[in-house]
Amino acid sequence: MTTTTTPSLATASQDRQAGLAPINLLPLKLLIAAPRGFCAGVDRAIEIVERALDRFGEPVYVRHEIVHNRFVVDGLKAKGAIFVEELDEVPDGKPVVFSAHGVPKMVPAAATERGLDWLDATCPLVSKVHRQAERHVTAGRHILFVGHKGHPEVIGTMGQVPQGAITLVETLDDVTTLDFPGETPLAFLTQTTLSVDDTHEIVAALRARFPDINGPRAEDICYATSNRQAAVKAIAARCDLLLVIGAPNSSNSVRLVEVAEREGTPARLIQRGKEIDPAWLAGVETLGLTAGASAPEVLVREVVDTLREWRVVEEETVTTTVENMVFKLPRQLAD
């Protein structure tokens, strides 16, 4: 683990001279987790929409939120993107982008049938799970898919295979209710944005119940989800409270709140700095801060600036790993 300290006492002094004195001059130790924020899949998805706008001009349609972050979505809307829920809302002749969470196989097939120009912004790590699902079905295995019902990634993955070839498993209790004849070939796959600890428990239960079940050597939880959860674990014990920047419908962001709470640290999910209640800071000497994989760094700095309105903030970035993952763009947009 590497630690970088950036004091902000000088900034607080300047604020006081400008008439913006914090309400409470007691220092607030701010531990900022790293890695945090955007992952390679989110970077790629946003770039796909931006390049599509450059290539095709306004408007470019996007089926579902490209990523689960209102700030990002609103920014792309301002550039000419139009977000819709279903493909039939896209006019003929207009380009459409599929979100980073992935879509059922029938969606690009329908777009092709209509002659639409479509771009797939599905995270490559999610696409990898899609290919695994297809291979299991081809091999005659029934898939047990560990994930959260209704999440776009789950809908997209379950839509890669024929109906009846895959069963959703959400909890340990679900494992106990599974009923397959002993000779049934089984395989498991997992949503990429789950809790590492919870998923490990469910997979262990699946292996115990079905010793011959086929699965990946490691769960399909993506590197960014795992890294952000590990970074929270690294700071949680030192914090009186931890803030997670992310949307309520962002699975990986909600999981970060759960990870902190599992470590015994109270945590709150926020989308913007303005959502912070200064009363939350009462009695807080050390505050943790992280951001889900769909939250840009500008929102982290916004939160820090908001905190400085009330306290003298001493920043410390705690780095548990350095990410350098980059995903290629679709061939239609490659330079």
Task: Report the distance separating Cα 228 and Cα 238, nearest Å.
Answer: 16
Going by their DSSP bridges, the two strands 166-169 and 118-120 should be labelled as unpaired
Catalytic residue positions, numbered: 153
- 71 CB burial (10 A radius; 0-12, 13-18, 19+): middle
User: Which amino acid is residue 37, in one-letter code?
Assistant: G
Task: Report the distance separating Cα 271 and Cα 290, nearest Å.
Answer: 12
Task: Report the distance separating Cα 245 and Cα 260, nearest Å.
Answer: 13
Task: Report the distance separating Cα 290 and Cα 269, nearest Å.
Answer: 10
**Cα 213 to Cα 84, 145, 180, 184, distances in angstroms:** 39, 12, 12, 9
Q: Is 189 helix (H, G, I), strand (E, B) or coil?
A: strand
Name 83's bridge partners.
62
Sign of CA dihedral 107, 101, 67, 49: negative
Task: Report the distance separating Cα 240 and Cα 267, nearest Å.
Answer: 9
Instruction: Tokens 């980073």: give the residue.
Output: 100
Name 245's bridge partners.
270, 291
Task: Report the distance separating Cα 108 and Cα 117, nearest Å.
Answer: 10
